[in-house]
Chains A and B, each alone.
Chain A
Amino acid sequence: MTTSIAKYCSILLLGLGIALGGCASHTVKTSPYVQLQQETSEIPESQLLDLGVVLLDPNLEQIDEDDALVFAEVRKAESHYMAGQMAQAIQNSSAWGAVRVIPNAATVADVIVSGKILHSDGETLKLALDVIDVSGRSWYSKEYKAVASRYAYRRETATRDDPFVSLYHQVANDLLNYRQKLSGTDLQQLRTLGELRFAESFSPEAFGGHLQQDKNGRYQVLRLPAHNDPMMQRIRGIRERDHLFVDTLQDYYGNFNRQIDTPYRDWRKQTYMEVRNLRQVKQQAFNQTIAGVVAVLGGIAATTSGNRAVRNSGAVAIGGGGFLIKEGFGKRAEADMHSETIRELGDSLEAAIQPQVIELEDRTITLSGSVQQQYRQWRDILREYYQLETGQDLGPKGNGQ
C-alpha cells in the first residue's frame, strides 16, 4: 500500500516536473489602439477652459535603490516629454482653450492635470493622474497603463506617433467626457473663478472679498468686479504677461524635447527588446528552477519504491531535475546580462541628455526668478493703487508676496 502511494506520488511529481520544464512561456498580448475623440460642436469662447498639464512627478523617492531599470535623469526628462505628449493629445481634441505645460500647480489655470510616473520603459508606461479644476473640485484620479506594440519600434511599421499614444488619447478622452457633463453655466463659472483667483493672488486687498473658500477648499464667487474696474483691467494686463511667460516655457520645453527625441526613442526601442528578453528569461529561470526542484523531489520519492522501474525512473528524474536547476541558474545569469545591458543603455542616455536637462532647468529657473521678481513689484504697485484709489492705509508694505 505504501509502496503504491509512493509510486503514484513519484510518477505524479515526475510528470509535473516534466510539464513545468517543458512549458514554454507563451503570452498573448493585445495592444488596442485608442482613437482620439474630438469635440465636433463649436464651443463658445466664454466656455473654453484653459488647461494646464503640470510636469509629471518623476517619482524618484519611491524607487528602490537596487532598481537598475530606473534612471533619475531619464525620469526627469520623461516628466517633460510625457507632459508635452499629453498636452498635444488634449489640444488635438479641440475641446479646450489654451493647453500648456506648466511648471507647477501654482500656475492658475481653469483645469489642472497633474500626476506621477509609476513605471516607464520601452515596453510599459504607467501613469497616475489627478485632475482638478480652479474651484478646487477634484474631477477624478486614475491610473493609466499602456504596453507598446513590437511594431511600434519596427522600422517598416513604425508610425510618427509615440508608441504610447493610446495612453495619451485615453487621457484626453476621459477629460473630454467629463467636461461634456458640465453645463455651460459651470464652464463660465470656472472661467470667472480662474480670473478672480488670479486677481486675488496679485491684489488680495482689492479682490479678496470676491471669493470665498469653504472648509473643503472649494472656491465660490461672492461678487463680481465692475465691468470697467480699472484694477481688473490692470490684472488682465498682468495675466496676459503671465500667459506670455508660460508660452515662453513652452518654447523651452519644445526645444528640449526636440533635442532628446532621437536618443530617447532609440533608448526606448533598445530597452523594449531588452526588457522583453529580461522578463522572458527570468520567467524561464523561475520555471526551470521550480521544475528541477520538483523533479528532484519526485525522483527521491521514487527511489524509495520497491518497484525497480520506478526506482530507475526516480534516478532519471533526479538527474533531469538537477539539469533543470542548472539551466535555471544559467537563465538567471542571462537575465543579469540583460539587466546590465539595460543599465548601460540607461547610463548612455543619461550621459547624452544630462546637459540638456541641466540647461533646461537653469533657463527655467532663471526666467522664473526674473518673472517672480517682477510679479512682486507689480503686487506692490497694485497695493499702492488700492491705497490711492480707496484712501485706505494698509500699513507698511509687505514683501509683495
Chain B
Amino acid sequence: MVLAMNIKTKGLLRTFARAALLLSLSGTALLGCKTQSSTSQPSVPSPSPSSSPSSSPSSSPSSSQPSTAGSSMPRPSSPTPSSPTPSSPSSGSTQPGGDNEPRDNSGDSRDQRSGQPDRGAPSEGGRQSQGGVFNEGAEASEGADASPYYDAYDPSADNGDSDNSTDSSEGGPGGGSTSDDISFDETPPGRTSAERQAELDAEFEGSMERYDGMILRERERAQSEAAAQGAEEQLESAGGADGSGGQQSGGAGSSNPYGDPSGEAPEQQSTDANSSGDTQASGGRQPAGGPQGSNGQGNDSVPDDIPSGDDDDVVARQIREAAMAETDPELREKLWEEYRRYKNR
C-alpha cells in the first residue's frame, strides 16, 4: 500500500511537475505574446506618461509614441489572467508602478532612453522595439549635436545624401511611430521646439553666409577682370593718344551700358541691391577709371614724383584715375609710366 501510495505520489508529483512546467512554459509564451501584442489592445485603460514616474522626460508632444505604446499595456495589478507577471513588465518607460520591481522598470527605461543596450530578456522583446526607438532617438540627438542638418543643407552636398541623412535622423521616431501607428512628427524626441528652431536658425544663417561668400567671390572675380580690361584699354588709348584717342577711350568706356565696375570697387561689399543698382547707373555716367576730381585726395598709391594733376587734360586725368584705381601693382606702375610720358611729351 505504501508502495502504491508512493507510486501514486510519484505520479502525482510527476503530473504536478509536468503541469508546472507547462504552466511556466505557457506563462512564458503568454508573457512574450502579450508583450508583442501590447499595442493592439486599445481597450485596456492606460495611464498617461506624465503621471508615471518612469515616463519620458521629454515634454514634446512627439514623445507620445513610446508613452502610447506603453500606455496600452495592462497594469500589472489587472486581474486579467493573461497579464504578465509583475516581475516582467511588458512595456517600456511608461509602465507605471505597482510592479514588484518598479524601480527596475524605471531604471531599465532610463537606461534605454540614455541609449544603453537592452537588458536582453526575451520577455522584453516589446521593450526592445521601444528601446530601439529610444536608442535611435538618442543617436539622433547625438547626431543633432553634430548638426547633421548642416550637412543636409550644404550647397556642396548631394541632395540625395541630404535627404537620406534627414530621413535617417527622422527614421527612428518615424519608423517607430509608423510601426506603432502614430502620426509622423519631425521633431525628434528629447528636443523641444525651441531647440529645433534654434537649429534651423543656425542652419539658415550658415547657408546665408555660405551663399554670400560664394556670390561675393564671383563678384570680385568679375570686377577684377573688368578692372584689368579697363586698365588695358586705358593703356591702349593713352598710347595712341591724339585728338581721337580720348574720344575712342571715352567711347569704349562709356559704351558699356552696365557702367564701369572699376568705379564700383568701393561698393563691392554692399549688399543693398538698390544701392548697387544706383551705383551701376552712376558708374555708367562717370568717366571710365573711377571717381571724378583727382585733387590729391590722399591716395597712398600715388608716387611722389607725380604732381597734383590740377592742370591735367582729359586724357591725363583718365590715365591718372585709372592708375589710382588699379589694384594690380604692375599695371598701376605701367599706368603711372604712361602718365609721366604723356605729361612730359
A residues whose Cβ falls under 8 Å from a Cβ of B: 48, 50, 84-89, 91-92, 97-101, 155, 158-162, 234, 237, 240-241, 243-248, 250-255, 257-259, 261-262, 265, 367, 370-371, 373-374, 376-378, 380-381, 384-385, 387-389, 393, 397
The dominant DSSP class at the A interface is helix
Q: Is the CB of A160 within 8 A of B258?
A: no
B residues whose Cβ falls under 8 Å from a Cβ of A: 153, 155, 159, 162-163, 166, 183-187, 193, 196-197, 200, 203-204, 207-208, 211-212, 214-216, 218-219, 222-223, 225-226, 229-230, 244, 247, 250-252, 254-259, 261, 271-274, 276-278, 280-281, 284-285
Task: Name the B residues within 8 Å of A255 (CB-CB).
Answer: 222, 225-226, 229, 261
What 6 A-B pairs are tightest by C-beta distance, nearest first?
A243-B273, A98-B277, A254-B258, A88-B257, A251-B222, A84-B257
Task: Name the A residues within 8 Å of B273 (CB-CB).
Answer: 98, 240, 243-244, 246-247
B282 to chain A, nearest CB (A): 9
* CA A114 to CA B183, docked complex, whole Å: 49
Q: Is the CB of B251 within 8 A of A160?
A: yes
Task: Name the B residues within 8 Å of A376 (CB-CB).
Answer: 159
* CA A387 to CA B184, docked complex, whole Å: 12
Q: Is the CB of A251 within 8 A of B187?
A: no
Known contacts A252-B222, A380-B153, A393-B184; A244 and B215 CB within 8 A of each other: yes
| The residue from B193, B207, B215 contacting A381, defined by CB atoms under 8 A apart | B207
Smallest Cβ-Cβ distance to A396: which chain B residue? B184
* CA A388 to CA B191, docked complex, whole Å: 12
- Of A84, A100, A255, A397, the most chain B CB neighbours within 10 A belong to A255
Task: Name the A residues within 8 Å of B272 (CB-CB).
Answer: 240
* CA A234 to CA B284, docked complex, whole Å: 33
B257 to chain A, nearest CB (A): 3
Q: Is the CB of A99 within 8 A of B159?
A: no
Q: Is the CB of A258 within 8 A of B153?
A: no
* CA A234 to CA B207, docked complex, whole Å: 12
Q: Is the CB of B153 within 8 A of A257?
A: no
* CA A252 to CA B224, docked complex, whole Å: 11
Q: Is the CB of A257 within 8 A of B281?
A: no
| The residue from B200, B244, B255 contacting A385, defined by CB atoms under 8 A apart | B200
Q: Is the CB of A241 within 8 A of B208?
A: yes
Cβ contacts A to B, 5 pairs, < 8 Å: A234-B204, A261-B256, A385-B197, A385-B204, A397-B166
* CA A371 to CA B226, docked complex, whole Å: 22
Known contacts A244-B271, A374-B155, A376-B159; A261 and B255 CB within 8 A of each other: yes
Q: Is the CB of B261 within 8 A of A370?
A: no
Task: Name the B residues within 8 Å of A240 (CB-CB).
Answer: 271-273
| The residue from A158, A247, A389, A397 contacting B219, defined by CB atoms under 8 A apart | A247
Task: Name the A residues within 8 Å of B284 (CB-CB).
Answer: 88, 91-92
Known contacts A245-B215, A255-B225; A160 and B277 CB within 8 A of each other: no
Task: Name the A residues within 8 Å of B163 (CB-CB).
Answer: 397
Other 19 A-B pairs with CB < 8 A, given A258-B229, A381-B153: A91-B281, A98-B276, A98-B277, A98-B278, A158-B251, A160-B254, A241-B211, A243-B276, A246-B273, A247-B280, A251-B223, A254-B259, A255-B226, A257-B258, A258-B256, A370-B155, A373-B155, A374-B207, A381-B207
Task: Name the A residues within 8 Å of B219 (CB-CB).
Answer: 244, 247-248, 251
A34 to chain B, nearest CB (A): 17
Q: Is the CB of B285 within 8 A of A92?
A: yes
Q: Is the CB of A247 within 8 A of B186?
A: no
Task: Name the A residues within 8 Å of B214 (CB-CB).
Answer: 370
| The residue from B187, B212, B271 contacting A388, defined by CB atoms under 8 A apart | B187
Smallest Cβ-Cβ distance to A252: which chain B residue? B222
Smallest Cβ-Cβ distance to A239: which chain B residue? B273
B224 to chain A, nearest CB (A): 10
Smallest Cβ-Cβ distance to A394: which chain B residue? B186
Q: Is the CB of B252 within 8 A of A262?
A: yes
- Of B222, B223, B271, the most chain A CB neighbours within 10 A belong to B222
Task: Name the B residues within 8 Å of A387 (CB-CB).
Answer: 186
* CA A321 to CA B180, docked complex, whole Å: 102
Task: Name the A residues within 8 Å of B251 (CB-CB).
Answer: 158-160
Q: Is the CB of A388 within 8 A of B258?
A: no
* CA A381 to CA B250, docked complex, whole Å: 49
- Of B250, B252, B258, B259, the most chain A CB neighbours within 10 A belong to B258
Task: Name the B residues within 8 Å of A241 (CB-CB).
Answer: 208, 211-212, 215
Smallest Cβ-Cβ distance to A254: which chain B residue? B258
